[in-house]
C-alpha cells in the first residue's frame, strides 16, 4: 500500500532554502536503503523477535494479569541486575515513576525542583503533581543534558543552605528539594559532576533516565548515580512493556516506600484492606511485565544494533558537513535511543522536517522547551541559550533497531 499521498511525492528539494534539497533527497534514499522499504518509516518502532508471545501467553494462562503475578517480581529483579541497582520497583508508566520518585523523597507544595527545559513534558508535569514548581537551568552542548556549569552558576547566584539543612532559593524564598536532570535521547548527562553539586547544596538527585536504559556514564548505568532513577518502557523506548516504567535505587528503605506508595499504600494482609496513607495505583500489570522480560533479554542486542546504526549515520553524514551527527559524550556509552542531527539553522531544520514527513520518513524536532509552554512560562529560568539553540536546529531521525550488513 502506498502510504505517501500522491501530491507529496513530487520532488520538494528544488526550491528548498539553504540549498538543503540535495541533502534531503540523499537522506530519504539512504534511510529507505537502511530499512529496506518504500513504506512509511517511523521514528522508533518496537521489535518483537524473542519470547514475547510465549511469556505473555504464560501470563494469560496463569490468570494473574493485573499487578499481582510472578512476572512482575521477575522483571523487577532482572531490571535491578541489568542496571546494577540493588532494588527496582515496576510501575505503570514513566510518568508514574517520576511522580512517585518526587513524592517519596519529600517534594511538596511550594517546593522547587531544578530540571532542564529540554525534555518531554512528563518531567515537569510530575513536579506539578506534587504542587511544586520546576526551575529551568541550561543544558550542555556536549551531552544535551543538564549542564553542571550552569547548575553551579545558578546555585551560587540564587541559593544557600540554611540552618534548617534545606537549600533555599533566595529569589523565591522556596526550598529547592530536588534536582532532576534528563539523559536526553539516551545520552548520559554529566551526572557525576551534577551529583557532587547536589550533595554540596543538600539537594536530592533524581535521574530521569526514561530514555537511557542501556546507557552508561563512566561505566555506571544511568539512573544509579542519584538517590533514585526513573525508567520508561513506553512503546517507543528501546524496550517496551506496552506501557510501563520503573524506579531503581540502592536505598532499601526508599525502595520499600516506593513499592508501598505505588500499591495504593496498602498494608499486606490476607484479606483486610488497610491503607495507611494516600497512595497511588501505579503498579505494573503482570501481562506487561511478561512482555518486558522477553524484551529485556534482547536489550544488549538492541543496543549494539542501535550503536551500529549510529556509526552508519555518522559516517554517511561526513559527506554533508553542514549537517552534523550528534555523538555520545566522550565518557559515556549511549544506547542512541534516538539519533539526532544538527542543521545549519531553523529554516533548514523546518525544511528537513517538512519534506521528510511528506515523503513518509518520520522525523521530529527536539522537545519544545518547557519554559515556553503556557503552564511553565512563568517559572524561574536561568540562561537557556543552549537549550533554545539545540531545539531550533536539531532533528531526530529514524532510529528503530535494524540489522545492518
pLDDT per position as a tens digit, 142-184: 999 999 999 999 999 999 999 999 999 999 999 999 999 999 9
How confident is the model over 194-222, as a mean pLDDT?
98
pLDDT bin (cut points 50, 70, 90) of residue 247 is very high
Gap between the Cα atoms of 222 and 191, Å rounded: 8
Q: Which of 278, 296, 314 is the last residue of a domain?
A: 296
Residues 41 and 56 in one domain: no
Residues 142 and 27 in one domain: no
Residues 84 and 105 in one domain: yes
Q: Which of 296, 313, 334 is the last residue of a domain?
A: 296
CB 184, CB 146: distance < 8 Å: no
Percentage of the chain exceeding pLDDT 70? 95
The count of structural domains within the chain is 2
How confident is the model over 259-270, as a mean pLDDT?
93
Residues 277 and 310 in one domain: no
403 in a domain, yes or no? no
Confidence check: pLDDT of 1 > 70: no
Residues 42 and 99 in one domain: no
Residues 163 and 280 in one domain: yes
Mind listing the pLDDT tens digit for each residue in 293-336? 999 999 999 999 999 999 999 999 999 999 999 999 999 999 99
164 in a domain, yes or no? yes
Confidence check: pLDDT of 9 > 80: no
404 in a domain, yes or no? no
1 in a domain, yes or no? no
Gap between the Cα atoms of 31 and 45, Å rounded: 14
Residues 182 and 229 in one domain: yes
Q: Using CB atoms within 10 A of its CB, is residue 71 exposed (0-12), middle (13-18) or buried (19+)?
A: buried
According to DSSP, the β-strands at 245-249 and 112-115 are unpaired
Degrees to nearest 5, angle at CA 172 with 168 and 173? 45
CATH code of the domain in which 241 resides = 3.40.640.10
List of E strands, 172-218: 174-180, 204-208, 216-217
222 in a domain, yes or no? yes
Residues 226 and 344 in one domain: no
Residues 326 and 375 in one domain: yes
405 in a domain, yes or no? no
Percentage of the chain exceeding pLDDT 90? 93
Residue 263 phi, psi (nearest 5):
-110, 40
374 in a domain, yes or no? yes
Residues 11 and 78 in one domain: no
Residues 113 and 206 in one domain: yes
pTM for the complete prediction?
Answer: 0.93
How confident is the model over 333-357, as a mean pLDDT?
97
Q: Which residues pair with 231 in a beta bridge?
A: 246
Give the range of the structural domain holding residue 313, as residue numbers without chain letter: 6-47+299-397
Gap between the Cα atoms of 253 and 261, Å rounded: 12
Residues 212 and 324 in one domain: no
User: What pLDDT was estimated at residue 405?
Assistant: 72
Which contiguous run of DSSP H or E holds residue 136?
A: strand 133-137
Gap between the Cα atoms of 225 and 250, Å rounded: 9
Gap between the Cα atoms of 297 and 253, Å rounded: 28
Gap between the Cα atoms of 217 and 212, Å rounded: 11
CATH code of the domain in which 358 resides = 3.90.1150.10
Q: Which of 256, 280, 296 is the last residue of a domain?
A: 296
246 in a domain, yes or no? yes
Mind listing the pLDDT tens digit for each residue in 49-107? 999 999 999 999 999 998 888 999 999 999 999 999 999 999 999 999 999 999 999 99
Amino acid at each position: 500500500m502506498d502510504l505517501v499521498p500522491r501530491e507529496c511525492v513530487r520532488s520538494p528539494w528544488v526550491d528548498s532554502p539553504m540549498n538543503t534539497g540535495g541533502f534531503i533527497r540523499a537522506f530519504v534514499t539512504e534511510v529507505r536503503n537502511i530499512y529496506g522499504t518504500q513504506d512509511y518509516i517511523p521514528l522508533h518502532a518496537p521489535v518483537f523477535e524473542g519470547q514475547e508471545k510465549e511469556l505473555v501467553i504464560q501470563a494469560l494462562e496463569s490468570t494473574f494479569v493485573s499487578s499481582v503475578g510472578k512476572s512482575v517480581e521477575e522483571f523487577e529483579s532482572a531490571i535491578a541486575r541489568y542496571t546494577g541497582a540493588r532494588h527496582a520497583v515496576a510501575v505503570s508508566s514513566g510518568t508514574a515513576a517520576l511522580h512517585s520518585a518526587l513524592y517519596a523523597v519529600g517534594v511538596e507544595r511550594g517546593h522547587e525542583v531544578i530540571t532542564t527545559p529540554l525534555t518531554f513534558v512528563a518531567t515537569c508535569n510530575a513536579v506539578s503533581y506534587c504542587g511544586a514548581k520546576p526551575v529551568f537551568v541550561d543544558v550542555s552542548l556536549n551531552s544535551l543534558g543538564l549542564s553542571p556549569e550552569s547548575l553551579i552558576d545558578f546555585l551560587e547566584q540564587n541559593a544557600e543552605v540554611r540552618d534548617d539543612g534545606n537549600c533555599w532559593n533566595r529569589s523565591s524564598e522556596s526550598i529547592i528539594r530536588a534536582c532532576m536532570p534528563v539523559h536526553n535521547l539516551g545520552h548520559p548527562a554529566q551526572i557525576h559532576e551534577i551529583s557532587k553539586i547536589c550533595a554540596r547544596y543538600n539537594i536530592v538527585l533524581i535521574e530521569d533516565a526514561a530514555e537511557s536504559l542501556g546507557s552508561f556514564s563512566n561505566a555506571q548505568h544511568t539512573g544509579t548515580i542519584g538517590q533514585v532513577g526513573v525508567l520508561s518502557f513506553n512503546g517507543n523506548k528501546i524496550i517496551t512493556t506496552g506501557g510501563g516504567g520503573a524506579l531503581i535505587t540502592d536505598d532499601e528503605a526508599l525502595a520499600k516506600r516506593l513499592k508501598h506508595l505505588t500499591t495504593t499504600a496498602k498494608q499486606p494482609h490476607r484479606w483486610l484492606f488497610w491503607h495507611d496513607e494516600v497512595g497511588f495505583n501505579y503498579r505494573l500489570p503482570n501481562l506487561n511485565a511478561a512482555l518486558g522480560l522477553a524484551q529485556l533479554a534482547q536489550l544488549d542486542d538492541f543496543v549494539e544494533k542501535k550503536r551500529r546504526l549510529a556509526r552508519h549515520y555518522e559516517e554517511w553524514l561526513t559527506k554533508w558537513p553542514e549537517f552534523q551527527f550528534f555523538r555520545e559524550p566522550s565518557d559515556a556509552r549511549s544506547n542512541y535511543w534516538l539519533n539526532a542531527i544538527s542543521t545549519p539553522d531553523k529554516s533548514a531544520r523546518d525544511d528537513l522536517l517538512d519534506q521528510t514527513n511528506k515523503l513518509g520518513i518520520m522525523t521530529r524536532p527536539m522537545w519544545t522547551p518547557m519554559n515556553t509552554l503556557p503552564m511553565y512560562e512563568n517559572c524561574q529560568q536561568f540562561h537557556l541559550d543552549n537549550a533554545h539553540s539545540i531545539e531550533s536546529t536539531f532533528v531526530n531521525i529514524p532510529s528503530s533497531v535494524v540489522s545492518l550488513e
